[in-house]
Amino acid sequence: MFNIADSHPLLHMVHVYMSIAILFTNYFLAQYDKFILSYFQASVLKSLSLTGTQYALLSGYSTGIVYALLALPVAFVADFTSARVWTLSIASLWWSLCVIFQGLAKDFADIYCARLGMGIGQAAVEALSVSLISDLVGWRNVFIGESVLYVGVYVGEAISGQIATSFSKTGTSWQVAMRAIGITGIVVSVLLRLVLREPTRASPIREQEHEEREFAESVENGPDRKESSLVLSSLTTTLSFLIRLRSFWPLVLSAGLRQLAGNVFGYYMPGYLSSVYDTVPDLLSRYGIIVGTVGSASVIAGGLLTSLLWHRTKLTPIYLTTIGGFLSSIFVLLMIFSKDVAAGDEQVGVKILYATMSAAYLTAETWLGCMSAMIALLLLPEYKTFGLAIWSSIQVLIYSSGPEIIGLAVRNLDPGSAEYTKIIKICLAVIIPVGYWGCGLGMLLSIPLVRKDLKDQTLLVPASPSRKIAIGALVSVLVVLVIILFVLSLVYSV
């Protein structure tokens, strides 16, 4: 069989780089769509006559539940049909159209429906992108490749800040930005389909690779297996493996807390700082520059460090997440209280803000790419996209609670009032450090489990009843929490 990688290695390398670049651009657009509203928060609230609770609904479970639930079947179908590229291309086209509809919104109902549609399209973008990159590059470079993908998070925030600043200066509507990015997304979705090719599934890095494959085959090819139950068999195989993968559950809960802190930071920090430093010119522009440059450098550094240290320790992503979060929480608090630290002096306060914000991003953002790569390497190759979708969906359900909680805290308050800013300040000062520290402690507790999953052969042993009960209870508690917060947010948004 002709193999371009063997016959034309240079051409293959160029194609891999092009593929990662397009996946990065696509992921960047998805992040831009999420965060652009936070930079235009004041104008969005005013132009659509939204309340603080309605704004929280747009950035919380309204898209979060759809995102989390739809990611699972989309990712499973993409794995089952081996059509990850087609699935991602169609999804990108759909969410880009929904972004255009947001730019055409006239009231809360319009933008709410468009955000729901966007959530459907973006449901599995992260899982699909991580899965594709893990197969496009060799495992020694997968940490760097995934880190490059996650640069899209910071570039998305950075460009949002620049656009918000330029638009406010020229008096251009936020809706123009939404329509422009939607059109750009349509173009990228076409490039995705034209450039990318479905890569061969890479083998996992687990030392007991043959036992893992033996496990998968034993489940799929058991004596009771029938061709008509192939889908159910594949689904059972993946879920059974995740239950046996002991480190998966403490890691995903810890990552969910970390993402909760980051989600609250992304959606509310720009608006809060704009209120505190309302006379500082180009605040959001400089905010965006720090996010884009420092955040990007930090996540790439995390990938490089993990790749370099992988032969010494497989736990580098956990150490980076834990230590970085502990340190960053201190700098985040200094950011929030920067004007208070400066005794009300705005000029001194903004200098403290920029310095501590740079330090916060430098220490906190090393984890994202390398952690996702580690999870991808732990999963079954044939259904890693589905496993990654479960990983991201659980996190979405956890971190979407942040805007919902804040929305309930500021209900009936004028978004331009001092009381509103005060409540936001308290929420930021509590939720972000708690998320960072909760994640760090959870990661530390998961270290023995990660070591066992990497080296132990007991993944072939059925999960104990107590573990199944514990996982079931965990999922039940999460579902109940989601339902309660979602119902409350709906009640207070009308």
Q: What is the DSSP string of 104-151?
A: T--SHHHHHHHHHHHHHHTTTHHHHHHHHHHHHS-GGGHHHHHHHHHH
Q: Is residue 145 a contact partner of residue 306, using CB atoms and an 8 Å limit? A: no
Out of 4.10.1240.10, 1.20.1250.20, 3.40.50.10490, 3.20.20.370, the CATH code matching 4-493 is: 1.20.1250.20
**Hunting for tokens 């696509």 — which residue is that?**
26
pLDDT score recorded for residue 483 = 82
- Torsion sign, CA atoms 453, 472, 237, 27: negative
pLDDT score recorded for residue 457 = 47
Minimum mean pLDDT range among 6-10, 96-100, 108-112, 351-355: 6-10
Q: How far is CA 100 from CA 38, 40, 60, 103, 115, in A?
A: 17, 16, 20, 5, 10
* Domain residue ranges of the chain, discontinuous segments joined by +: 4-493
- Alpha carbon 159 to chain centroid distance? 18
pLDDT score recorded for residue 279 = 92
Question: pLDDT averaged over the chain?
Answer: 85
Q: Phi and psi (nearest 5°) for 244?
A: -75, -25
Minimum mean pLDDT range among 101-115, 208-222, 326-340, 418-432: 208-222
| pLDDT band, residue 293 (cuts 50/70/90) | very high
Which tokens sit at 382?
């044939």
Q: Is residue 270 a contact partner of residue 39, using CB atoms and an 8 Å limit? A: yes
End-to-end CA distance of the chain: 61
Is the pLDDT at 247 greater than 60? The verdict is yes
* Long-range contacts at 41-47 (CB < 8 A, ≥ 24 apart): 41/270, 41/271, 41/415, 42/271, 42/274, 42/415, 42/416, 43/168, 43/173, 43/174, 44/111, 44/174, 45/415, 47/173, 47/174, 47/175
Q: Give mean pLDDT, residues 99-119.
A: 90
Minimum mean pLDDT range among 67-76, 251-260, 284-293, 457-466: 457-466
Q: What is the pTM of this model?
A: 0.85
Which tokens sit at 281?
């010119």
pLDDT score recorded for residue 494 = 57
Query: Among 350, 30, 33, which residue's Cα sits nearest to residue 163?
Result: 33
Query: Among 44, 159, 165, 172, which residue's Cα sits nearest to residue 105?
Result: 44
Q: Is residue 372 a contact partner of residue 148, using CB atoms and an 8 Å limit? A: no
Task: Quote the CA–CA distance of 69 and 193 in Å, as a whole number.
Answer: 25
| pLDDT band, residue 196 (cuts 50/70/90) | very high
Q: Is residue 405 a contact partner of residue 44, using CB atoms and an 8 Å limit? A: no
Q: Is residue 239 a contact partner of residue 245, using CB atoms and an 8 Å limit? A: no
- Rounded to 5°, angle at Cα 382 from 74 and 314: 105
Q: Give mean pLDDT, residues 361-369.
A: 95
Is the pLDDT at 204 greater than 70? The verdict is no
Task: Quote the CA–CA distance of 344 and 360 in Å, as a whole number.
Answer: 22
Total residues belonging to the chain? 494
Task: Quote the CA–CA distance of 457 and 213 in Å, as a whole number.
Answer: 12
Minimum mean pLDDT range among 100-104, 185-189, 396-400, 433-437: 396-400
